[in-house]
């Protein structure tokens, strides 16, 4: 079985509270994009749970890989004894705020659920996904969604057009845990919820600016000052508005159309090992 594991961007991210167990509650729009890893999966009965992982690209090829952890978690939750063989081709960079590892894990869960129908109820599959990481439940059914709570409250959003983007990264990985620790050190009060979604046709920079605000950008920039320089560069290259995806360090520039996005990408000057690429979000109906 061959599965795509799409990356995502956050169209705005607000930290609206903190639970007694220390987890932060968020309010964000998650949009899948056309950048995707490829997961090839084979599973069959075995005396014990066995997971074999081969990685082509930049990701660990051991039990720390979230895809391998997802396979073990599925076997444990379902009670099935399986040999799970995984070929993972990485295209989404690690520690970039694009959800690559979470999407790989969700693709594994989707694939195993399809290969062993009925082994886990839908609610149990979602519980396994959430235990693996806050972003994983979204990627079980990747489509534009408003995501709240700690990632478990998903509300599909209809009527969103595809957005032309330029993804830009300074070439530095940023730890999500460290960004949240830096956020807590700033001791901000809780944010209000996301504002109502403005009309996105036609795109208007003055409406996008407030929507794209990400509460994690200030702490992420403290850890990675290059984020601020890259934000300025995207604006100067012609992006209508700029947002930070997740905890960074990837920024995205929203552009009027794919041709404009290609122009912005051509004008960007990012020192090595930074990178940029043109992308687009999924359209929702």
Q: What is the pLDDT of residue 54?
A: 97
* Cβ-proximal residues to 225 (8 Å cutoff; 6+ apart), any chain: none
Give the number of other CB atoms < 10 A from CB of residue 204.
13
Q: What is the pLDDT of residue 34?
A: 96
DSSP-derived secondary structure for 212-249: T-BTTHHHHHHH-THHHHHHHHHHHHT-SEEEE-TTSS
Q: What is the pLDDT of residue 280?
A: 97
Where are the chain's structural domains?
Answer: 2-155, 164-280
Fold of 2-155: Ribosomal Protein S5; domain 2 (3.30.230)
pLDDT by position in tens, the chain (length 285): 999 999 999 999 999 999 998 889 999 999 999 999 999 999 999 999 999 999 999 999 999 999 999 999 999 999 999 999 999 999 999 889 999 999 999 999 999 999 999 999 889 999 999 999 999 999 999 999 999 999 999 999 998 999 999 999 999 889 999 999 999 999 888 899 998 888 888 888 877 878 899 999 999 999 999 999 999 999 999 999 999 999 999 999 999 999 999 999 999 989 889 999 999 999 887
Is 90 among the residues known to form the active site?
no
Give the number of other CB atoms < 10 A from CB of residue 250.
26
Cα separation, 161 vs 15, in Å, equals 26
Q: What is the pLDDT of residue 200?
A: 84
Q: What is the pLDDT of residue 187?
A: 80
Q: What is the pLDDT of residue 283?
A: 84
2-155 and 164-280 agree in CATH topology:
no
Q: What is the pLDDT of residue 130?
A: 95
Residue closest to 7 by CA, chosen among 109, 131, 108, 93: 93
Q: Which residue among the candidates 8, 27, 104, 215 is catalytic per the annotation?
A: 8
Q: Tell me the residue ranges of DSSP E strands in 68-181.
A: 82-89, 145-149, 153-156, 164-169
Is 58 among the residues known to form the active site?
no
Domain spanning 164-280: which superfamily? GHMP kinase, C-terminal domain (3.30.70.890)
CA distance to 50, 85, 187, per residue, from 38 (Å):
21, 14, 39
Q: Which residue among the candidates 37, 135, 257, 266 is catalytic per the annotation?
A: 135
Q: What is the pLDDT of residue 189?
A: 85
Q: What is the pLDDT of residue 206?
A: 77
Residue closest to 247 by CA, chosen among 28, 52, 65, 59: 28
């Amino acid at each position: 079985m061959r599965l795509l594991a799409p990356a995502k961007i956050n169209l705005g991210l607000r930290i609206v509270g903190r639970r007694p167990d220390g987890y932060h509650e968020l309010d964000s729009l998650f949009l899948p994009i056309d950048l995707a890893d490829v997961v090839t999966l084979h599973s069959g009965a075995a005396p014990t749970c066995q997971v074999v992982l081969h990685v082509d690209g930049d990701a660990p090829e051991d039990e720390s890989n979230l895809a391998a952890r997802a396979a073990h978690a599925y076997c444990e939750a379902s009670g099935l004894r399986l040999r799970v063989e995984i070929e993972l081709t990485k295209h989404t960079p690690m520690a970039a705020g694009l959800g690559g590892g979470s999407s790989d894990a969700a693709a594994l869960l989707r694939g195993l659920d399809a290969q062993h129908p009925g082994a886990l109820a839908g609610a149990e599959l979602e519980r396994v996904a959430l235990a693996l990481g806050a972003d994983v439940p979204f990627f079980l059914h990747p489509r534009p969604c408003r995501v709240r709570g700690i990632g478990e409250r998903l509300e599909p959003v209809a009527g969103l057009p595809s957005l032309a983007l330029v993804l830009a990264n300074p070439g530095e990985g940023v730890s999500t845990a460290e960004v949240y620790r830096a956020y807590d050190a700033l001791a901000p009060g809780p944010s209000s919820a996301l504002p109502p979604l403005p009309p996105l046709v036609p795109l208007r920079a003055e409406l996008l600016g407030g929507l794209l605000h990400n509460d994690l950008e200030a702490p992420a920039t403290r850890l990675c000052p290059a984020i601020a320089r890259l934000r300025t560069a995207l604006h100067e290259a012609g992006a209508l508005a700029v947002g930070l995806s997740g905890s960074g360090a990837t920024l995205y520039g929203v552009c009027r159309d794919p041709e404009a996005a290609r122009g912005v990408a051509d004008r960007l000057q990012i020192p090595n090992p930074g990178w940029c690429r043109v992308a687009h979000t999924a359209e929702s109906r």
